[in-house]
Structure 1
Amino acid sequence: MYDFVSTRDVKQGKIDFAGSLKTTPETYKYMVKTGCQPFPGDVLFSKDGTVGETAVVRVLKDFVVASSLVIISPRQEVMNSDFLAYVFASKTSKDQAASLMRGAGLPRLSVGNLARIEVPVPPLSEQQDIVRFLDCETAQIDDLVSKQEEFVTLLRERRSVVVSEILSRAQQDGNPPDKLHRRTRMGNGSTPRSSEDRYWLGGEIPWVNSSVVNLPEVLEPSRLVTEAATVECHLPMVRPGSILVALTGQGKTRGAATILRIESTINQHLAYIEPDERYWVPEYLLWSLRSNYEHLRRISSENGATKGGLTVGDLRALRIAMPPVHKQHQLLAEVATTTERVDSLIAKAQEHIAFAKERRAALITAAVTGQNDVPTTRKAG
């Protein structure tokens, strides 16, 4: 099997081979013949979805790339590959790319429009100086960001443990876990048939897709769904206050949950749990599902690829303690008090991360556009 790299595998200037899909030798040979094989020194540029992610190919490896990636082979006597990657990461290039993108549902930048982006081409020696300078400076910033992200991960893990400990008291107080489907209504979302080509063109009916839980904030208590894309065709509606659970998805998406605050339709990658509020406080049920996140992940792994992750049946079988409503409110109040400080620390760390990334972007833009003097390694003649 051979690595099949797509947009999702190009992150922060690197290629994630470990998480990439695999392809058969037959498909690999065909894709090599059709020009889908990069070589060292090539620059990969994502043109679909998350437009503008770049990575330089640094090793000779047998792999191919999806059509969502453009393979750019700079003329090495004119353009340094790393310099070009930094140029694409600059605000100047990103602004140009944004103005040339097309597509409302899935933003795209055609190869033709990519070729229209103007890039600076200083002498090769200056490009190399800029690369050395930016490699050094961005490495320090990236290290700071990495440490802050690790800190956020630890805080989230700690909060999860604390919340689980609080919710476990519901069972200790004589409320044995019961199957989730009792006193709830559950089901799958759906997607209009592809023949209904007008459903992408907007309308008046809110339609939530699985991207609502495809975010780092998915496990944050403040993450709620309050808006959605709109469609024209009629699908079953889900009531506000329902819990949405991602049945499929990459990374941390599968098994994640959030609350729907608007009446909306949902796609087939989501399940809804509509609680009977005489017995369930939606926020209590949400936290209970989140405390079962790792359990749901294990179930989805055991199901294997044929079942596509989680199913509504898996959720129906989930057992959660259901104390009286007044007790659920008490537990939620304790959760809010206990997690407030942790959430404040997370917010501050995220501010530091955002500031560092802004500084990194500004540094790159200034260097590649000549706004900053870059130290040179050349000797005076």
Structure 2
Amino acid sequence: MEEKKKIPEIRFKEFNGENATAWEQRKLGEFVDVTTGKLDANAMVEDGKFDFYTSGIKKYRIDIPAFEGPAITIAGNGATVGYMHLADGKFNAYQRTYVLTGFRADRSFLYSEIGNRLPRKISEEARTGNIPYIVMDMLTELDINIPLNIDEQKRVGVFFADLDNLIALHQRKYEKTVNIKKAMLEKMFPKKGEKFPEVRFDGFTDAWEQRKLGDHSNILAGGTPSTQKPEYWEPKEIPWMSSGEVNKKRLTGTNDMISKVGLDNSSARWVKENSILIALAGQGKTRGIVAVNEVQLTTNQSIAAIEPDETLYYEFVFQNLGNRYDELRMSSSGDGTRGGLNKKILSDLKIKTPSYEEQTKIGIFFKQLDNLITLHQRELDKLKNIKKAMLEKMFI
């Protein structure tokens, strides 16, 4: 019975079968040498020749190496404690970064097995309250399950290395598209004090005009039916949106529903589809985030709905306001960290606009970029979920 616990659920066929050997539970220190870097974080050099690993995700540079790969580095403290890098060539490390070398098992296999087990160990043995850190024996005494057949280690290691490379590829595609959008938002909307953007579609040359948002849109806030009245919430007939849902960015539905009776007996009201929804208040960074509803819905009192008139293309306004998040938060009543937005602030908000035709082209362009960003994010999430599932099934 115990032997079965040491055989993974999914295994490469050449290592499976009636005579399959079980994996063994060992200590990580049996298979690697563990040490730490010796340098302070400020030892980094901007144009250094070698990689310098700290307790962060980002790699820095340094002129003097102290280690040579193949190695694994592990952040020993900080917000990214436990984060790992595969290090090759000559490099150096921060004094709270652990360096694993001298592999007596396949490095890629160990990288995946450590990544599967160490986060749980860190959570279990958080040694300083809210900010856990790693000590040497947490690594050397870390229990790992491993096949002693080096060929099986390599097969598993290559499988997850390929998966990690695919995840990294889609991460780069996602980040590249996000950065393209950010750059184009800066170039396709006029800078402060200017009437012309740097980049325009062919055929458009007129200066942009500055208007008050309230002069060209209907701005309304919603309400919340009494939670003491069950009949206001049942039957679930009408989509009702709370402020946290602005983070969805594009609403095709809501988490909650109210009844027709609830709508009639509260300040909640219908919002036309393709309106811009902005969080007037909310937890943390929610205030000032904008979304657009692709279906009719109602909202609570912490959301303002901006229904543009025929002179404003909704997607243009959505992208414009979405690019002004910091400005909107600073415009809030209060000191920019407390308080909230209100209908008057939004009504008085100035917005630069070109012709409706140019607005439409700009809006569609950025919507297509958003769709591409969403596509890359979904692919990335899908691959991460596949990896998570395979880690559970291919390791013990």
Please report the TM-score for the alignment, with normalisation by the length of structure 2: 0.50
Match of 1:274 in 2: 307
Correspondence 1:304-323 to 2 at 5 A:
304-307=336-339, 309-323=340-354
- CA drift of 1:297 comes to 4.1
> Residue 295 and residue 229 in structure 1: after superposition, are their counterparts in 2 closer, same or farther (change >3 A)?
same
- CA drift of 1:156 comes to 1.8
Aligned AA (2:270): V
Correspondence 1:7-18 to 2 at 5 A:
none
* Separation in 2, partners of 1:252, 1:353: 24
- CA drift of 1:314 comes to 3.2
Correspondence 1:231-270 to 2 at 5 A:
231-232=258-259, 233-234=262-263, 235=266, 236-240=268-272, 241-249=274-282, 253-270=286-303
Q: Any idea what the Cα deviations from partners look like across 1:52-84, whole Å, max 9, x if unmatched?
A: xx98244312359xxxxxxxxxxxxxxxx99xx
Residues 1:350 and 2:364 aligned together: no
* Separation in 2, partners of 1:194, 1:17: 42
* Separation in 2, partners of 1:334, 1:59: 50
- CA drift of 1:231 comes to 0.8
* Separation in 1, partners of 2:388, 2:218: 47
Residues 1:362 and 2:384 aligned together: no
Q: Any idea what the Cα deviations from partners look like across 1:262-297, whole Å, max 9, x if unmatched?
A: 3322013311112222x2222222222123234224
Indicate which of 215, 236, 254 corresponds to 1:203.
Answer: 236
- CA drift of 1:197 comes to 4.2
% identity of equivalent residues: 25
- CA drift of 1:320 comes to 0.2
Q: Give the gaps of 5 or more residues in structure 1.
A: 1-15, 19-40, 45-53, 65-80, 83-123, 371-381
Please report the TM-score for the alignment, with normalisation by the length of structure 1: 0.52
Residues 1:296 and 2:325 aligned together: no
Q: Give the gaps of 5 or more residues in structure 2.
A: 1-76, 80-116, 132-137, 148-152, 197-205
Secondary structure at the residue paired with 1:274?
strand
* Separation in 1, partners of 2:254, 2:181: 27
Secondary structure at the residue paired with 2:389?
helix
Residues 1:128 and 2:144 aligned together: yes
- CA drift of 1:366 comes to 1.0
Aligned AA (1:310): L
* Separation in 2, partners of 1:247, 1:354: 30
Secondary structure at the residue paired with 1:330?
helix
The higher radius of gyration belongs to 2
> Residue 254 and residue 153 in structure 1: after superposition, are their counterparts in 2 closer, same or farther (change >3 A)?
farther
* Separation in 2, partners of 1:244, 1:350: 23
Secondary structure at the residue paired with 2:227?
coil
> Residue 328 and residue 253 in structure 1: after superposition, are their counterparts in 2 closer, same or farther (change >3 A)?
farther
Q: Over the residues paired in the alignment, what is the CA RMSD in angstroms?
A: 4.6
* Separation in 1, partners of 2:161, 2:123: 16
Q: Any idea what the Cα deviations from partners look like across 1:119-149, whole Å, max 9, x if unmatched?
A: xxxxx99x73169x89998798568646744
> Residue 201 and residue 56 in structure 1: after superposition, are their counterparts in 2 closer, same or farther (change >3 A)?
farther
- CA drift of 1:152 comes to 2.0
Secondary structure at the residue paired with 2:183?
helix
Residues 1:61 and 2:128 aligned together: yes
* Separation in 2, partners of 1:212, 1:55: 32
Secondary structure at the residue paired with 1:190?
coil
> Residue 175 and residue 268 in structure 1: after superposition, are their counterparts in 2 closer, same or farther (change >3 A)?
same
Considering fraction of residues, name the structure with more helix. 1
> Residue 17 and residue 253 in structure 1: after superposition, are their counterparts in 2 closer, same or farther (change >3 A)?
farther
Residues 1:166 and 2:188 aligned together: yes
Match of 1:333 in 2: 361
